[in-house]
Amino acid sequence: MLNSGEGGFFLTDDGPMAAKVAVYAGAYEGLSEKHIAVPPKEVFGDLPTQLPNYSLRMSALAAAVVRPQIPTIEERVEKYNARYYMIEQRLNKHPLIEVPPQNPKVRICGDSIQFNLQRVTDEQVQKFLAECKSRGLPCELFGAATNARNFVNWKFSPAEESLPRTAQMLSRAVDIRLPLTWEDSDFLTLCQVVEESLATIMVCVKRAVITKDIKAPDAVPEAGIQEATQLMRLGKLYRYNVKSAGESIVSLCEVEVAQYTGFKYCVALNSCGSALYLMLLAAGVKPGDGVLTNAFTFVAVPSAIHHAGGKPVYVEST
């Protein structure tokens, strides 16, 4: 939803946690005063001398690209979700497909769709993926030997148990991107490719194909391009190369993200993985501490736990 290449935000209503993350990220000496969406100076106290500086802050260039995208989030979510639920409804009618229902407590942004293949063999799954790819529709299998969401690939912190239910689910779970730049008719073709590819592995039928790039990212708004260009001309890419917080592109971006999400504090970082890592440090995770996490998640989650010195404890996912 916010395309800057790399970037992440730590959001919280907890003042001491926000102060710790800002210092860990690189607010050394009195640089907290060049933030807006952080607690007052007294909350920081001696943190700049007590905590290490990991230099994980967001650059002004990334913030300049992000800021004009924030006001359009709702409009884009509405468009994404309308398409997602149209595809969900159609694919769920197929006897070999189950699109898991969304948790009513969770508000989604349907920029991709995940579904489970049912009553098919491992060989048929591979044939389905190959058939889709041959028609211009690359699909990801979460249980693939190279997929970063497959827990067997997290050899830096392997599971101590076999997690059979998660392994079984991953072996049939398929992920397909839903680019915002596509037309509604393209998604009808996408559904047709999925349906025909499944039919092809059972019997031979028609052959729809995808001609557009499914991995095409959302374009950066013109305002973001202009702001980033101006920053490059000035050379002011470092977030603290300003006289005051009100002049900082990154600080203004933090305020806008905090306002949009409803949190009191926000610290902009160089990646979401860094946000997870610093959150764990600020929460007091110590070397050897067990940290619960889903066995079905992106590799950045157990990596952050591992980096913080914790020990991932994987919970079965079905």
**Per-residue tens of pLDDT for the chain, all 318 residues:** 888 889 999 999 999 999 999 999 999 999 999 999 999 999 999 999 999 999 999 999 999 999 999 999 999 999 999 999 999 999 999 999 999 999 999 999 999 999 999 999 999 999 999 999 999 999 999 999 999 999 999 999 999 988 999 999 999 999 999 999 999 999 999 999 999 999 998 875 567 888 889 888 888 999 999 999 999 998 888 999 999 999 999 999 999 999 999 999 999 999 999 999 999 999 999 999 999 999 999 999 999 999 999 999 999 988
Residue 206 confidence (pLDDT): 64
Q: Could you give the residue ranges of the DSSP H alpha helices within the chain?
A: 15-25, 41-44, 47-50, 60-66, 73-91, 122-134, 164-170, 184-202, 222-234, 249-261, 272-283, 300-307
Residue 92 confidence (pLDDT): 97
Query: Residues 148, 299: contact at Cβ < 8 Å?
Result: yes
Task: Supply angle C-alpha 289, 290, 292, rounded to 5.
Answer: 145
Separation CA 15–CA 49 (nearest Å): 18
Residue 265 confidence (pLDDT): 97
Residue 201 confidence (pLDDT): 86
- The SS3 of residue 292 is strand
Residue 295 confidence (pLDDT): 95
Residue 216 confidence (pLDDT): 83
